[in-house]
């Protein structure tokens, strides 16, 4: 009996290891697709951008990444074994007037999939057609919930940052019985080296076009990943040939910052005021003694910043009526936690990923910190000032 249990545990460990390995590889592929689309997008819009019902921009990259990830996961683990929750649907792409947009998505997907062997993954035997791409996108229709296993994908988190040539992320997580068991976060514009972080990223982007940067410079993005319970989180550069990455062993362990004095801590918040109350977080920052200017960045790059020690605090307090989606947080949460950080709602409770697409039952907002000392101070400050917040 004991031997059978050990064999079962060993089998499960190997399966988890394969899932994480495939997830990292497919996010690397997705980052490459996004970089190609973003390079072609900057300075022009044409048929590369559409608009969703909520007026947030959708690009070829959103659908392209969703189709690519869906196709690869189904190929690696069997279509019948893969359930995916993802942000995009096919309604816009299926319209007659969207023929050009669909063609751009199909081309982007096939350009990406043909390079799958470079990442140690399998390409399709022939190019996918429009029907197959639409099927791959629409397969991402899981409703989530407290039971079973399902992947959670945000193909391009921070689409506004993406279309503006700024920060964005590709986020992929695996949930089992309501708990996030692995997360991968691709940040194509987030530099590997901390010293290249700057509020003047556009200047550096311009300069890098004039004079190509050296290896390891700011331009190289990063992919972060972690597995629940491992006590480890890792980062590797965004690459275009996985074989070369394996030869160079470029992945390195990351840890949260050890700073616990608010006077020296940096906090992150969303760029868009529509997504979070800047005035309330500014008041909180002052009350707990935060002195540095907030680091305002698009997307789950905020989670990456905390996980690797570039910042210490992320606070988000959405305005009334806004409901947080699980794909905006799942991957980032597990990476911060395994890197040694703390993520809860404003009541100090773990985020609940077991109740479908939304983070239902969220107490006021989300607080992520590099450690418990800062986290406790933020929680107390929220309690003391919430009644006057108007949120």
Please identify which of the residues 159, 266, 281, 344 carries the catalytic annotation.
159
Would you call 99 a catalytic residue per the annotation? no
- What is the C-alpha separation between 194 and 217, in angstroms, rounded? 10
- What is the C-alpha separation between 108 and 353, in angstroms, rounded? 31
Cα–Cα distances (Å) from 383 to 238, 350, 387, in that order, read: 40, 17, 8
- Please enumerate in sequence order all residues whose Cβ is within 8 A of that of 241, keeping only pairs 6 or more positions apart, or say none: 118, 119
Q: CA 379, 384, 390 angle in degrees (round to 5)?
A: 100
Please identify which of the residues 59, 62, 310, 344 carries the catalytic annotation.
62
328 has binding-site annotation: yes
Assign 233 to helix, strand or coil. Answer: strand
Would you call 53 a catalytic residue per the annotation? no
Cα–Cα distances (Å) from 222 to 80, 190, 236, 254, 369, in that order, read: 31, 6, 6, 12, 21
The one-character DSSP state at 340 is T
Assign 190 to helix, strand or coil. Answer: coil
Assign 228 to helix, strand or coil. Answer: coil
- Please enumerate in sequence order all residues whose Cβ is within 8 A of that of 334, keeping only pairs 6 or more positions apart, or say none: 173, 180, 181, 182, 183, 226, 227, 228
First to last CA, the chain: 56
**Which tokens belong to 189?**
């514009």
- 132 in the Ramachandran plot: left (φ > 0), alpha (ψ -120 to 50) or beta? alpha
157 has binding-site annotation: yes
| Cβ-based neighbour number of residue 74 at 10 Å | 17
Extract the runs of DSSP E, i.e. beta strands, from the chain. 49-51, 57-59, 84-86, 149-157, 169-176, 179-187, 222-227, 233-237, 252-253, 267-269, 295-296, 313-316, 342-345, 366-369
- What is the C-alpha separation between 384 and 377, in angstroms, rounded? 11
Annotated binding site: 87, 154, 157, 328
Annotated binding site for Mg(2+): 87, 154, 157, 328
Q: Which residues are marked as active site?
A: 62, 159
């Amino acid at each position: 009996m004991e031997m059978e249990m050990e064999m079962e545990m060993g089998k499960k460990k190997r399966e988890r290891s394969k899932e994480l390995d495939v997830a990292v590889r497919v996010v690397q592929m997705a980052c490459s697709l996004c970089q190609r689309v973003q390079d072609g997008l900057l300075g022009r819009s044409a048929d590369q951008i559409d608009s969703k019902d909520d007026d947030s921009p959708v690009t070829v990259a959103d659908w392209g990444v969703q189709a690519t990830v869906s196709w690869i996961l189904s190929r690696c683990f069997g279509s019948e074994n893969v359930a995916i929750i993802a942000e995009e649907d096919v309604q816009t792409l299926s319209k007659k007037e969207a023929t050009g947009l669909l063609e751009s998505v199909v081309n982007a997907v096939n350009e990406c999939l043909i390079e799958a062997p470079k990442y140690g993954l399998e390409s399709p035997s022939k190019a996918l057609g429009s029907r197959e791409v639409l099927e791959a996108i629409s397969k991402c229709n899981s409703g989530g919930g407290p039971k079973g296993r399902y992947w959670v994908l945000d193909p391009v988190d921070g689409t506004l940052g993406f279309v503006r040539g700024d920060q964005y992320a590709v986020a992929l997580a695996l949930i089992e019985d309501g708990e996030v068991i692995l997360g991968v976060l691709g940040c194509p514009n987030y530099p590997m080296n901390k010293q290249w972080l700057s509020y003047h990223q556009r200047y550096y982007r311009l300069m890098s076009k004039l004079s190509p940067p050296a290896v390891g410079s700011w331009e190289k993005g990063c992919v972060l990943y972690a597995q629940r319970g491992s006590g480890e989180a890792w980062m590797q550069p965004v690459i275009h040939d996985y074989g070369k990455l394996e030869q160079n062993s470029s992945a390195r362990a990351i840890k949260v910052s050890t700073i616990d004095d608010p006077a020296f801590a940096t906090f992150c918040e969303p760029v868009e005021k529509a997504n979070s109350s800047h005035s309330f977080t500014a008041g909180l920052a002052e009350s707990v003694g935060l002195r540095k200017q907030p680091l305002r960045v698009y997307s789950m790059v905020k989670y990456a910043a905390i996980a690797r020690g570039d910042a210490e605090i992320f606070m988000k307090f959405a305005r009334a009526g806004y409901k947080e989606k699980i794909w905006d947080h799942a991957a980032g949460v597990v990476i911060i936690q395994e890197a040694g950080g703390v993520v809860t709602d404003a009541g100090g409770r773990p985020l609940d990923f077991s109740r479908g697409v939304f983070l239902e039952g969220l107490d006021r907002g989300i607080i992520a910190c590099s450690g418990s000392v800062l986290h406790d101070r933020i929680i107390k400050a929220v309690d003391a000032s919430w009644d006057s917040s108007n949120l």
